[in-house]
Chains A and B, each alone.
Chain A
């Protein structure tokens, strides 16, 4: 239920609304029967000049959410888009969750946004009805006016605000949502608010934020996770022109959570001077137990564990019995290395400590996590941390973790001035929360048609849970629920096992998270089984999905995560997965493009973030083994899509992101230190390496909205390796692909 009330335009809304504005808040997901504190999530106001002000409480990192959610409000409001202004919210629990991750903004706020718009429209209609002394039912909000068709009277929203502000807020049941046929913006292709700014360099990102009198910090962090500062000599650093002073940051106390890593900072009057000073620091570290961490050994350990029985997390039928009885078995192991997010804007924030409070401007996906982490670091209340959210130059999950904001706040307290922290690219690559490396072992027993009668999938990876519990060794419910224990195929005997593994670097969620490695293993294996059976891969996948049905997911020892949604509202629906497979096959011309030597299509289909995606990738492998991707087709069923234009752009981007991690991404450690440092040794796809063109095919749907930002990523890597196999006969079981010689 959504609860809607009038709120003061002052207070935590800051200066978002002008004087005389009618401002409403909407609370979503209010528990039935309970009387919770009123915590509005969404704000909408109309100013006396008619401007509709919509507060964006989610972070804009390139998905378009800052435009797309307001489109929903504006539609129900019957607002003229030219008269809509977006204001970015600061961090505050009153908005509900502001954590912009998990591809959930539309899913979680679609209803609330509609309710807010419809409520204000009704109040404006009531206001006009009063003014003209006619029944409300005869007044209709239309494109920023209320019109009375019978008399031809018409009043702008602005002139109705004064009266509307005196009316009681209508209750649910009084306002009505527009019929779909009258949607003005929902489902329409609309440009994002920032397109113009971005062509002029006018967008303001975290790295662009300034505070008067601020110092620039460059921080020498512990090179190994958990290393302790032994000693340092800053004499030479202080001699650098522009350097003001140095300051230490205490090492975190385990678990590391989102705390600052610690280290020695050089503070200066420019970014350059701070960086030059840092080069002159002499710092000695006690590296601690992670100082022997080595990626080659770690990989061997993971792969060995994947060969051992692990904790059973899903169990259907009797896999061992089926294996024992089988004559046709197939097995394979897969590996994905650690990965770094590498957003183009590295982590950046400016913060000021003053009178026991902190004000920060930060490129963050989660301003409330900023409040909590900074408050915890400074020993103050989170209400005393004001977090202004800038535009984000990419996020991909990295900017959900506000360690860099803690650094800025802690240094500001030490030096008594505002401090700006900008990670160098080397800092970004070396001090990330890495996407987990993972080893997976798969085994299947096959019937006479090559279909699996039994399926075993072991998965071993350091868990994101280690962020919050230093002893964590097994996967979290959400990691296991990401495209693994929810395997939708019709297989009589199915077991999933999770082996324990300890983290030695910070592990964190990256765009599509655990789906990345699970999808790679599962769909690569499916591709191998189809090849072994000599069957067409599209036909094989459709057969494997079995009859159209909603698959109940019942994991062992945990509930099925399902993005925190019920299986009744968002079931695992094989019919929808089939539909995208059929659609992408048709659109890509699958049937008529048989594999040739050096050129072929590959396919993978995967449900993630409650959306169904199938991708067909065409690869060309030249006689030197160089891979190019002339074309990608992606079909997605994400339920109702608000802005098809931005949905397409997200999926085009996902194809490139997926290509980067499949072809070239790899982070390794030696002696506990990350080896890679910049785009020379941590390459990401450039123009000629990215798919030349990605065609996105949206399934028309009015089903409940699901994810868009992440679901395009998981099928890309297995579709590429599927295509490479078809083109070359080479089976790539380890990413990145560049490590395998293809000819």
Chain B
């Protein structure tokens, strides 16, 4: 039996311990804000926080998630809208919107580690998150607005 916390709630799981956290979140808990994009840690669409760190849930097994606190996009602004979520709206970042949960979760981890990121910091932190619609310049702008650094 695997025990973990998801968005503040205690959960138990007795399925395949090799199952990626992504499919537990999506298929079992119905937290569908976390998206599947590649299944190989290549695109970042499935990014969630495990004990506050951004990870790719498509390559993180339930076994590895045991005992950890998971935050998904649904949990990020549950109490109060995260500044990134407000900035995302201000910049009208999303086109199709599919990758944006992962982008925001990745950016949230960046701002936690580096509250005033440089362009190079942003590039390096966001390099693993693909947006096929091509919203990168607005993502960068929104991160800067949320971080209150000059664009």
Contact = CB atoms under 8 A, between A and B. Distances in A.
A200 B88 CA distance: 10
B109 interface: no
Contact of B72 (A194, A201, A685, A690): A201
B150 interface: no
Contacts of B117: none
A268 to B, nearest CB: 10
B19 A202 contact: no
Contacts of B35: 205, 207, 344-345, 393
Contacts of A654: 134
Interface stretch (A39-47, A437-445, A691-699): A691-699
Given A422-B36, A652-B135, A657-B134, A205 B98 contact: yes
Given A270-B27, A687-B140, A656 B100 contact: no
A272 B23 contact: yes
A201 B33 contact: yes
Interface string B72-110: 111001000000110011001111111111001000000
A156 interface: no
9 contacts: A64-B95, A195-B93, A343-B132, A391-B96, A392-B96, A425-B43, A649-B138, A678-B42, A686-B129
A264 B137 CA distance: 43
Interface string A303-346: 00000000000000000000000000000000000000011111
Q: Indicate the member of B31, B34, B135, B139 with the most A CB atoms within 10 Å.
A: B135
A445 to B, nearest CB: 40
B55 interface: no
Contact of B74 (A61, A201, A210, A684): A201
B130 A393 contact: no
A396 interface: yes
Contact of B95 (A62, A202, A241, A271): A62
A393 B38 contact: no
A678 B40 contact: yes
B132 A687 contact: no
B134 A687 contact: no
A655 interface: yes
Interface residues of B, number: 58
B27 A688 contact: no
Interface string B46-75: 000000000000000000000000001110
B115 interface: no
Contacts of A207: 32, 35-36
A359 B2 CA distance: 37
A422 B34 CA distance: 15
B148 interface: no
Contacts of A273: 16
Contacts of A201: 31-34, 72-74, 101
B16 A242 contact: yes
Contacts of A202: 33, 74
A198 B35 CA distance: 12
A35 interface: no
A195 B100 CA distance: 10
A687 B127 contact: yes
Interface of A: 60-64, 191-192, 194-205, 207-208, 210, 216, 241-242, 270-273, 276, 342-346, 391-396, 422, 424-426, 645, 649-650, 652-657, 678-680, 684-688, 690-694
Contacts of A195: 88-89, 92-94
Nearest to A196: B89
Given A197-B97, A344-B37, A656 B27 contact: no
Given A271-B26, A272-B19, A344 B136 contact: no
Interface of B: 15-16, 19-20, 23, 26-28, 30-40, 42-43, 45, 72-74, 77, 84-85, 88-89, 92-101, 104, 122-123, 126-140
A157 B67 CA distance: 56
Contacts of A690: 134, 136-137
Given A61-B96, A200-B85, A649-B138, A394 B123 contact: no
B123 A687 contact: yes
Contacts of A396: 132
Nearest to A655: B134
A198 B134 contact: no
Task: Give 5 closest A-B pairs by Cβ, nearest first.
Answer: A201-B33, A656-B134, A393-B98, A62-B96, A198-B97
Contacts of B122: 687
Q: Indicate the member of B38, B72, B123 with the most A CB atoms within 10 Å.
A: B38
Nearest to A64: B95
B136 A199 contact: no
Given A200-B73, A272-B23, A678-B40, A686 B95 contact: no
A678 B38 contact: yes
A424 B95 contact: no
A694 B137 contact: yes
A678 B130 CA distance: 12
Nearest to A645: B92
A425 B23 contact: no
B37 A685 contact: no
Q: Indicate the member of B26, B28, B34, B72 with the most A CB atoms within 10 Å.
A: B26
B23 A270 contact: yes
Nearest to A422: B36
B95 A684 contact: no
A392 B131 CA distance: 14
Contact of A344 (B28, B127, B130): B130
A645 B55 CA distance: 33
Contacts of A199: 77, 84-85, 88-89, 94, 100, 104
A276 B39 CA distance: 13
Given A199-B89, A679-B130, A687 B98 contact: no
Contact of A272 (B16, B74, B126, B131): B16
Given A201-B34, A425-B37, A649 B95 contact: yes
Given A199-B104, A425-B43, A649-B138, 14 more contacts: A196-B89, A200-B77, A201-B34, A207-B35, A270-B23, A272-B27, A344-B37, A393-B96, A393-B97, A393-B98, A393-B99, A394-B98, A657-B132, A690-B136
A687 B45 CA distance: 14
A105 to B, nearest CB: 15
A653 B134 contact: yes
Nearest to B43: A679
Q: Indicate the member of B93, B97, B127, B132 with the most A CB atoms within 10 Å.
A: B97
A617 to B, nearest CB: 14
A688 B132 contact: no
A685 B132 CA distance: 8
Nearest to B34: A201
Nearest to B98: A393
A631 to B, nearest CB: 10
A33 B30 CA distance: 54
Contacts of B135: 649, 652-653
Given A205-B98, A241-B16, A345-B98, A687 B92 contact: no
A395 B98 CA distance: 11
Nearest to B126: A687
A657 to B, nearest CB: 6
Contact of B45 (A194, A203, A344, A692): A344
B132 A391 contact: no
Q: Indicate the member of A241, A342, A394, A424 with the most B CB atoms within 10 Å.
A: A394
B90 to A, nearest CB: 9
B96 A345 contact: yes
Contacts of A200: 33, 73-74, 77, 85
B62 to A, nearest CB: 10
Nearest to A653: B134
Q: Indicate the member of A200, A422, A688 with the most B CB atoms within 10 Å.
A: A200
